[in-house]
Amino acid sequence: MGWLWREWRRRRIRGREFPAEWAHILARTFPRILRLSDADRAELESRIQVFFIEKRFEGAADFEITDEVRLSIAAQACLLLLHHDTGDYPDLLSIIVYPGEYLARQRVRDEIGLVRETDQVRLGETGARGAVVVSWDAARRGASDENDGHSVVLHEFAHLLDAEAGGFDGAPRLPRRSMYESWSRILKDEYATLQRRAASGEPVDLNPYGATSPAEFFAVATESFFQEPHALSQNHPALFEELAHFYRQDPRGFMPPSSSSAPPQYPPVS
Ligand SMILES: [Zn+2]
């Protein structure tokens, strides 16, 4: 009954007109929406409306949640769901937004086995208990065109998609059973290459944070796929193809080729 009711409500919400004021905010803060096809833009707008009804936004450290904040975050989160029948992040209840980087208390074990607590600087995290935490400063940069190849929102929501298939292991639910073999082979290969390069200090064109676990590899590859699709398809064509099948879209159609010749900077993520 709960599922049927939710589907009925989603259909009603999706039929609503997207407020013109929201469209203006998105055109400014998430300009790629203007380069989507009409059908894709309409789908994204209706997913955003469902997202607003089903998820709660909470400001942390006195941060005020405005329409711009909600729209920039929801647009990036819902972009991952385009062309998928299911989704809308069923396990997610709330998005907690800090104004910028924040400190998270972490328990670490030192070299002689003692556990102590330290503060770690973070831009975002996917918690248990149905919450995603992001820094607005990083979320805003990820939504804009002049980006550095990163999006904390895409990163954390990729973790959610991964977790929906059970566990954080870089193996989300793929649309077809026949896709698992090549997904597993190609992502394993690319992960091993990034680990080797990161360990030996060789230059890398994927965030070396992805070398810490298969789950982080999937999350940083998702960021590159959407934020720097031209570079990823050129330098990692097999990985690009797997992600294009999984996400059922090709971001090269709506992202400009990167104009930056500066070496990428990799911010802290979690
Ligand atoms: Zn992560």
CATH of the domain at 237: 3.40.390.10
Contacts of 234 (CB under 8 A, 6+ apart): none
In this structure, the number of other CB atoms found within 10 A of the CB of residue 177 comes to 7
Residue-by-residue DSSP string for 40-57: HHHHHHHHHHHHHHH-EE
Query: Within a domain: residue 269?
Result: no
Query: Within a domain: residue 192?
Result: yes
Give the Å distance between the CA of 177 and the centre of ligand 1.
Answer: 26
Identify the pLDDT of residue 259: 54
CA gap 53, 152 in Å, rounded: 22
Query: Within a domain: residue 207?
Result: yes
Identify the pLDDT of residue 132: 96
Give the Å distance between the CA of 24 and the centre of ligand 1.
Answer: 31
Query: Within a domain: residue 264?
Result: no
Give the Å distance between the CA of 214 and the centre of ligand 1.
Answer: 10
Give the Å distance between the CA of 9 and the centre of ligand 1.
Answer: 32
Q: Is 61 exposed, middle or buried (0-12, 13-18, 19+ CB in 10 A)?
A: exposed
**8 Å CB contact between 94 and 130:** yes
Query: Within a domain: residue 267?
Result: no
pLDDT mean for each 10 residues of the chain (270 residues): 72 83 98 96 96 96 97 98 87 95 85 85 83 96 88 96 91 91 97 96 92 97 97 97 97 83 55
Could you tell me which residues are beta bridge partners of residue 107?
Answer: 117
Identify the pLDDT of residue 148: 83
CA gap 92, 129 in Å, rounded: 8
Identify the pLDDT of residue 261: 46
CA gap 46, 78 in Å, rounded: 9
**Domain with 185 in it:** 2-253
In this structure, the number of other CB atoms found within 10 A of the CB of residue 8 comes to 10
Query: Within a domain: residue 137?
Result: yes
Query: Within a domain: residue 200?
Result: yes
How many structural domains is the chain composed of?
Answer: 1
Give the Å distance between the CA of 168 and the centre of ligand 1.
Answer: 10
* Torsion angles phi and psi, residue 218, rounded to 5: -60, -40
Query: Within a domain: residue 262?
Result: no
Give the Å distance between the CA of 5 and the centre of ligand 1.
Answer: 33
Give the Å distance between the CA of 47 and the centre of ligand 1.
Answer: 24
Give the Å distance between the CA of 94 and the centre of ligand 1.
Answer: 18
Give the Å distance between the CA of 44 and the centre of ligand 1.
Answer: 24
Give the Å distance between the CA of 269 and the centre of ligand 1.
Answer: 6
Give the Å distance between the CA of 77 and the centre of ligand 1.
Answer: 15
**8 Å CB contact between 139 and 72:** yes
Give the Å distance between the CA of 226 and the centre of ligand 1.
Answer: 16
**8 Å CB contact between 124 and 132:** yes
Give the Å distance between the CA of 20 and the centre of ligand 1.
Answer: 34
Give the Å distance between the CA of 266 and the centre of ligand 1.
Answer: 13
